[in-house]
Amino acid sequence: MKKVLKALSLMLVMMLFAALLSACNKSTGGSGKGSIDVGIVLPTKDEPRWVQDEQRFKDALKDSDYTTEILFSQGSSAKEKENVETLINKGIKVLIICPQDGDAAAAAVEAAKKEDITVISYDRLITNTDAVDYYVTFDSVAVGAAQGQYLIDHAKGKNVPLYLYAGAASDNNAFLFFQGAWSVLQPKIADGTFKIANSSEAEALKDTAELSRDQLSKILGQVTTNWDPNEAKNKAQTHLTAAGADLKGDVAVLAPNDGTARSIADVFASDGDISSYVITGQDAEKASIQYIIDGKQSMTVFKDVRTLVKDAMGMAVEILDGKTPETTGSYNNGKVDIKAKQTDVIVVNKDNVKKELIDSGYYEASEFKGIE
């Protein structure tokens, strides 16, 4: 009888151990499929924008019944592919990915698609592949148009020197931002309100209202910052060193985002021959909000990441629930038209920074000096 009880006890211990091991595998992603529902891959932790997105995703997922994991690619397409493979092995059903390089990310999402994973391109479009199901984005053309319009609205007189800068040529959004800005700036370049100061390619195309991809590529090749503040600083210094007196004084600067805007602004502010400058930005980074308050940066395009994250996660949940997500437009990625959900953007300057960013609860007033 004792032997039977001992055997039963041993069997019970083994069953409990097996159950515990199974539970551990399920919670950590182990080898079991289905342990992670949504995989999220973001470009880098080295830029405030993406750390901000990570936090917004975490906030949005607090009360979710679905499991998620967020990984960063640290500016490497190889690491990005590795991250996607890691998430595939954890059994994800939906992949939300903001590509480091739109073209290079195609291979990663094609691997996910082979496993019947729904792919959502987040903020930046993955290009030249049919493995993307949806695109959640701010209206990138509208972002550029808002930046260009701000420069027009604050131009002083005629022949205002216009310095053009752009994002990375590997990011499809950089083309869309510049396209949007050019759409409103070009008529004002053609009529003499602005004169292009730092791009012979743009100068040669000043009478062309709609630029082809190839024409955009040629301009971006001259004025790209690669989203790198140091590269933006060096390029701005080079341009101002080469500029004559007729390209200084009161100037307008199209800067693609906040990180590059601050670097470029510092360069222009340190040049004694620059009387004043109007400079654009986007992302509403804290450091740039302080620059706006201090009069060092003119504006930023506020893209409420809370809304973008909510749209992306809402789409993922609808997919997991077996529903068809609602979309508001589409973008051609060079291979197919991708259904998209677009999020509105807001222009923020010193006049409305409190209303849009503090009163809305996006930031706390205590995070800034001199806010009214």
Q: Determine the Cα–Cα distance for residues 119 and 109; give it in Å rounded to an integer.
A: 7
Q: Is the pLDDT of residue 286 over 60?
A: yes
Work out the number of other CB atoms within 10 angstroms of the CB of residue 148. 25
- What interhelical angle do 172-190 and 140-153 show, nearest 10? 30
Alpha-helix residue ranges (DSSP H) falling in the chain: 2-28, 48-60, 77-89, 105-114, 140-153, 172-190, 200-204, 213-223, 229-242, 258-269, 286-293, 305-320, 353
Looking at the DSSP bridge assignments, the partners of residue 332 are 337
Write the DSSP string, 82-119.
Answer: HHHHHHHHTT-SEEEE--SSTTTHHHHHHHHHHTT-EE
- pTM assigned to the model: 0.78
Q: Determine the Cα–Cα distance for residues 174 and 15; give it in Å rounded to an integer.
A: 57
Domain 28-132+305-344, CATH 3.30.499.10 — does that match? no
pLDDT tens profile 20-46:
444 443 333 333 445 899 999 999 999
Q: Determine the Cα–Cα distance for residues 288 and 262; give it in Å rounded to an integer.
A: 7
Q: Are 81 and 97 in contact (CB under 8 A)?
A: no
Q: Determine the Cα–Cα distance for residues 228 and 65; give it in Å rounded to an integer.
A: 38
Q: Are 110 and 88 in contact (CB under 8 A)?
A: no
Q: What is the mean pLDDT of residues 295-323?
A: 94
| pLDDT band, residue 5 (cuts 50/70/90) | very low
pLDDT tens profile 101-141:
999 999 999 999 999 999 999 999 999 999 999 999 999 99
Q: Which CATH class is domain 140-303+347-367?
A: alpha beta
Every domain of the chain with CATH number 3.40.50.2300 lies at 28-132+305-344, 140-303+347-367
Q: What is the mean pLDDT of residues 164-186?
A: 96
Work out the number of other CB atoms within 10 angstroms of the CB of residue 67. 18
